[in-house]
Amino acid sequence: LSLWVAQTTRRLPDIKFIFCHGGGVMPILLGRMAGFDEWRGVGPEKLRQVFPEGVYAEYRKLYFDCAQAFAPEDFALLQKVTEPSHLLFGSDYGYFPVSHSKSLFTKLVLPESTRQAIAAGNAAEILPRWKV
């Protein structure tokens, strides 16, 4: 939220901000933030200043690793609020074995092209020096 309020993401559009754990609670809070136009502490003018194309449009510019976000309900919400090209495989390795995330990721019902993109293709697009 501080990146948006400070207009950082709009001033520096070429930076690919990657947030861990599917964005944490942010996907859940987007609808509440979109409703701030009715809150006297923010109001419609400030909301339009921070999110000229809307809260959801600004969120779709960000990228997310999906470590600990492969539960079907978490992943379904991520798919609703962002593009599949902005989702990256994440494992939380060091805290959890990679096999944990791999198992959850494998259980998701996804087109094979989307699965491959999340597994490696999307990361290779935004981090080209890591292409194999």
Q: What are phi and psi of 22, to 5 degrees?
A: 65, 25
Q: How confident is the model at residue 18, as a pLDDT?
A: 96
Assign 40 a pLDDT band (cuts: 50, 70, 90). Answer: low
- Whether this prediction's pTM lies above 0.95 is answered by no
CA–CA separation, 46 vs 49, rounded Å? Answer: 5
